[in-house]
Structure 1
Amino acid sequence: MSFLKIGHRGAKAHAPENTLASFQKALDLGVDGIEFDVHVCATGELVVIHDFTIDRTTSGSGEVHKMALAELKALKVEAEHTIATLDEVMELVDKKCMVNIEMKGRHTAKPVSDFLKNLIRKGYSYDDFIVSSFQREELEEISKLNPDVQLGVLTQASMKEAWDWAEQFNAKAIHPHFSLLTESNVRKAQEAGYKIYTWTVNNPEDIARMKSYGVDGIISDYPERL
């Protein structure tokens, strides 16, 4: 059975996570999709960064949502890279693969919905995207604002809760940590109409196990292992 090979934060094992270099590397490795995280910065733009602060991945310190885009752009990620905007990532990807946007920061639902509506006007299709989140409020908000957006419910702890949320918000997919999956719960979810995109699967034995369960997509730091 075929499944989607999805690069985690680009190709995180090969280039600094969530940078344009990392996304380009994932594309070079032939991914079917890329996954990354967005926050809204103080000036309203959607920026691609995992943490709520810039401390771990950049030369600076502070909270993403309190900083203007110009301040964020002035920072260095591992000496030679910069924080990307969602605009820049979409320009780079240019429909070469599916895009999984994780709403990481708070209050990201409306700007993400507006951003996608704008791309649809430019000729994109909602099939080009999955919008995922761990955050109930963001999933609920975007499902109300734009029912056309294909949602993925992220979970690290409970397949049951994710399934409940998926039903409530008419999600397309459930994105469980791979440790939660069994052959039977994957099959049950698929029989109920959900896609299963699992993360972050790096170890070859775990990758083989996920493939044997018939998941719909695997998110990995090492896309070439998929």
Structure 2
Amino acid sequence: MFALIVPQKYYPEELLTPSHLRNPLEKISHRGAHQTLPENSIPAFLRAIELGADAIELDVHATSDGVVIVHHDPVVSAPGEKKARIADLSASEISRFPLAHGTGIPTLKAVLDAVGDRARVYVEIKATEIEPLVMRCIRESGASCAVHAFDHRVVKIVKKIFPAIRTGVLEVARHIDPVASLVAAGAEDLWQEVSFIDEDLVARAHSINARVIAWTADDPDQWETLRQLGVDGICTNRIAELATWSLQLS
């Protein structure tokens, strides 16, 4: 669909080092500070960073003319209009679908430019065949990014395009071996649904220098349990509370 040539090495060595070997628990804001601001919006991401997020997590799709936009669902809608597939709309057409507070649906480029070097950005690719577009955007921005997806085929494609980038696989169950899935996809981060994380899973991931990121954990009791289990990051909808809780540990 698209051709892209990228250098073999782009990300700093720091990004390729498991966080449990270098930093405390990583605090990841799920779609930004969306309790008071529109989720997946630039204001929400910037507010999350102000509140203490080490990183933000967002979702991407691509328009019909190849612009990567930040949005969770594959469709958009506006009052009085039918839902429309993002993949069927141009970037200019997407601009007709505002978020709350007068905020528009942002492009990935705009988000990365706004965040700069203040936080890592975890990009969840929600659609297939847009991997080259996403990688081009990340490379041109120079931002500290990692990519993850539920579809492990997407992760494999990303690695072929951009071997140096950190990737992750999303898992919601244990009917298959999550660590084996991680290895098969060539990824470094295991994004595991919080209720399926245990000591054995964390130990196995760490034994191969992989990280475990818990999602989505919004309760202090969960945070403490996850910390005791040794997870490397927590993705939360309550970034202000997580940041405050984390400060109390130091």
TM-score using structure 2 length: 0.82
2: CA distance, partners of 1:224 / 1:77: 22
Q: Report the counterpart of residue 188 of structure 1 in structure 2.
A: 204
Q: Structure 1 residue 158: deviation in Å?
A: 3.0
2: CA distance, partners of 1:23 / 1:196: 23
* Counterpart residue identity of residue 156, structure 1: V
CA deviation map 1:186-210 (0-9, x unaligned): 1221122111111111122212211
Contact 2:31 2:39 in 1 (8 A): yes
* Counterpart residue identity of residue 91, structure 1: D
Moved more, 153-162 or 16-25: 153-162
* Counterpart selection for 1:45 from 46, 60, 67: 67
Q: Structure 1 residue 161: deviation in Å?
A: 4.2
Q: Helix, strand or coil: the match of 2:60?
A: strand
Contact 2:179 2:201 in 1 (8 A): no
* Counterpart residue identity of residue 194, structure 1: A
Q: Report the counterpart of residue 118 of structure 2 in structure 1.
A: 96
Q: Structure 1 residue 79: deviation in Å?
A: 4.9
Moved more, 192-201 or 109-118: 109-118
* Counterpart residue identity of residue 117, structure 1: R
* Counterpart residue identity of residue 160, structure 2: K
Matches within 5 A, 1:1-226: 2-55=24-77, 58-59=78-79, 60=81, 61-120=83-142, 124=143, 128-158=144-174, 160-226=176-242
Q: Structure 1 residue 162: deviation in Å?
A: 3.4
Percent of aligned positions that are identical:
25
* Counterpart residue identity of residue 82, structure 1: G
Contact 2:153 2:185 in 1 (8 A): no
Q: Are residues 86 and 159 of structure 1, via their aligned partners in 2, closer, same or farther at CA, if it must alter by over 3 Å?
A: farther
CA deviation map 1:25-58 (0-9, x unaligned): 1011021000000001111000000011114xx5
Q: Helix, strand or coil: the match of 1:51?
A: coil
* Counterpart residue identity of residue 65, structure 1: A
Structure 2: state its 5+ residue gaps.
1-19, 243-250
Q: Report the counterpart of residue 245 of structure 2 in structure 1.
A: none
Contact 1:201 1:219 in 2 (8 A): yes
Please tell me the root mean square deviation across aligned C-alpha atoms, in Å.
1.7
Q: Structure 1 residue 140: deviation in Å?
A: 1.6
Contact 1:159 1:176 in 2 (8 A): no
CA deviation map 1:40-92 (0-9, x unaligned): 1111000000011114xx54521111111111112121252210100110111
2: CA distance, partners of 1:148 / 1:76: 35
Contact 2:27 2:53 in 1 (8 A): yes
Contact 1:159 1:180 in 2 (8 A): no
Q: Are residues 53 and 113 of structure 1, via their aligned partners in 2, closer, same or farther at CA, if it must alter by over 3 Å?
A: same
Contact 1:14 1:25 in 2 (8 A): no
1: CA distance, partners of 2:121 / 2:84: 28
Contact 1:103 1:132 in 2 (8 A): yes
Structure 1: state its 5+ residue gaps.
none
Instruction: Specify the structure having the higher radius of gyration (Cα).
Output: 2
